[in-house]
Structure 1
């Protein structure tokens, strides 16, 4: 089978042995896979002497084979892959055995993958293959950040620095269904307009003076994945006692914090990452009930995986980037 791997410091397409579905496992023929920031970062975390690892956390496809003991799926079922490994119940933090598909285990940028049956879920019928393939990781991250950790309430105002990320596009749609007011930022006028069309109520230029622009707003919750470049600016616009939820650091991950200002403001700083199987299923119910569609910015073929990685790394996308694996 063909796969996109990181091997001995190099990203490349490689022919790999097709895996076999053992007891309790299913083999999935991948139709589409989704790129995430994690895929760009993984090669930097592996040594140049590391052997072949198939990248990719997100994917959707057809059940190709089922191992002994699997009764909940049949050959031909359309499924999405849950990239959150070993985390089943919705707990305050992931258990020790938690990991993310795509390192150290082989991921989804391949024609076939074998997983425990508990790691796949039925594909929402209204989603295209491209939409299904980019759903799980970002949508699950956004769901947990917004509902489990952020505890967003109807009528509250949510502020999202950076409107173009995949998670941000899910946050906008989920928060809209929750009855929240949504304010986003972007340096790109095109992305600001796209965010408004998706459901945001306001879209600011990232380079504007946020406290001045938002002086008439009450920001109840900020969900920030940018890191150092926006963290303290986000605190400036957050109401006293408000919640700042963070799950990423696309800029530097070390910040300087005025501790006195922070505790006098009685802010709540909440960390989160990914989510549990329980939350994934709740997210899928939300997506199905409200017929929510992931925003797919661009689709590449597996042969174009290098170009797809470069496009994502440059942050040119609004929404998700997909890889078409098979027809």
Structure 2
């Protein structure tokens, strides 16, 4: 099959389009023909080794990312060392084309989404692995996954639209779920024009929250169209605009210099939840703000059990809006990642594998 193999930490030259062996199924697995695969920060971060503790800058600026490509980073992977060379690709819309012996053959032909965040034990443990970061993913014509991690979806969305869902919306729903966003609460969403942030806006509004979003000025109207009640410019001071003790929940995958002000904007007893740090992983925390205001801080990587089934039900009930910024042929992955890092888009980029011969 055709695949993009990431050979190691480094620049775009590490993304190698080539023929590889078709995956061989083991008990309990299914083989999917990949119909569309989304592009995410995590694939770029893993390729450049950004998760290494030696990296202290954010990922917003493409030039900054490229400057970090000096050496192989043993701790640069999502959980452990990255299994180079391997196939990345966290988001997968696919069709089941084969099942391992003893599997449910009636599922063959089903169009499915893959739950990319998989709990290795069960949902009583936070131990997790990610498709496309810890093992071969969807940047290929075929991918194999555990049968229990595929979810059939009945809707009229295109393959590309469905491929925007798993990582971005799974991460967003996990943050909304874990921080217990509820009707009538005021939620501040940082990075609201990106894949995760735009999903958070929709999912928080779905729960009846008032949403203040932060995005670049050029993207204001698009973010308002997603349902945000107010959009602040990314250069605005949140406390100056909203005041202290103004919001119930901050949902943030940006972090960076604004972190302290985000905590100041929280009401007493407020909740802060983060799934990333594209604006910079090192932040300044005034512990007095944390304990005097009785704040709760959540990290959000391992998806909770209801998250993915919930997303499937939202799609099937027409409660979500897919955001495909642009599609690219799989072999143009480098061009897609370059455009992704420019951050001029709203929503998600999607790769389309070559047709089968």
Fold similarity call, TM over 0.5:
yes
**Partner residue in 2 for 1:23:** 27
Alignment of 1:136-285 (within 5 A): 136-147=166-177, 149-187=178-216, 189-215=217-243, 218-285=246-313
**DSSP 3-state at the match of 1:310:** helix
User: What is the distance in 1 between the residues matched to 2:101 and 2:286?
Assistant: 57
1:218 Cα deviation after fit:
2.9
Q: Which residue of 2 aligns with 1:94?
A: 126
The 8 Å contact of residues 184 and 204 in structure 1, kept in 2 or not, is answered as yes
CA–CA distance in 2 between the matches of 1:72 and 1:143? 31
Q: What is the Cα deviation at residue 199 of structure 1? A: 0.4
> In structure 2, what is the Cα distance between the partners aligned to 1:309 and 1:222?
28
The 3 A distance-change label for structure 1 pair 102 and 265 is same
Aligned partners of 2:34 and 2:142 also within 8 Å: yes
Render the CA deviation track for 1:104-152: whole Å, top value 9, x for unaligned.
31111000011121121102423210111121111111111102x1101
> For residues 12 and 67 of structure 1, what CA distance do their matches in structure 2 show?
29
Q: Aligned partners of 1:124 and 1:230: how far apart in 2?
A: 41
Q: Secondary structure at the match of 1:236?
A: helix
The Cα shift of 1:213 comes to: 1.6
In the alignment, is residue 47 of structure 1 matched against residue 51 of structure 2? no
Structure 1 window deviating more from structure 2 (82-91 vs 3-12): it is: 82-91
Offset at 1:177? Answer: 1.4
1:66 counterpart = 2:99: yes
Structure 2 residue matching 1:229: 3-state secondary structure: helix
Measured in 2, the distance between the counterparts of 1:56 and 1:182 equals 31
Q: Deviations over 1:205-261 (max 9, x none)?
A: 111232222139831100011122321121121112211111111122121211123
Aligned-residue offset at 1:23: 2.6
**What's the CA shift string for 1:1-25, capped at 9, x where partnerless?**
1111211451221211111333321
CA contact (8 A) 1:33 1:133 kept: yes
Q: Distance in 2 between matches of 1:278 and 1:66?
A: 25
Name the CA distance, whole Å, in 2 between partners of 1:197 and 1:113.
35
Mapped partners of 1:260, 1:223: distance in 2: 21
Return the TM-score normalized by structure 1.
Answer: 0.92
1:85 Cα offset (Å):
2.0
Query: Residue 230 of structure 1: SS of its match in structure 2?
Result: helix
Residues 84 and 276, structure 1, Cα contact 8 Å, conserved in 2 = no
Distance 2:215 2:73 in 1: 36
Q: Distance in 2 between matches of 1:44 and 1:292?
A: 32
Instruction: For residue 325 of structure 1, report the CA deviation from its aligned partner.
Output: 1.4
Q: Is the 8 Å Cα contact of residues 22 and 142 (structure 2) preserved in structure 1?
A: yes
Q: Deviation per CA, 1:9-67: give whole Å up to 9, x if none.
A: 51221211111333321110001001111000111239399742111111111111111
Task: Supply the distance in 2 between the matched residues of 1:126 and 1:216 (Cα, whole angstroms).
Answer: 44
Give secondary structure in 1 for the equivalent of 2:45: helix
TM (norm. structure 2) is: 0.84
Q: Tell which deviates more after alignment, 288-297 or 44-53.
A: 44-53
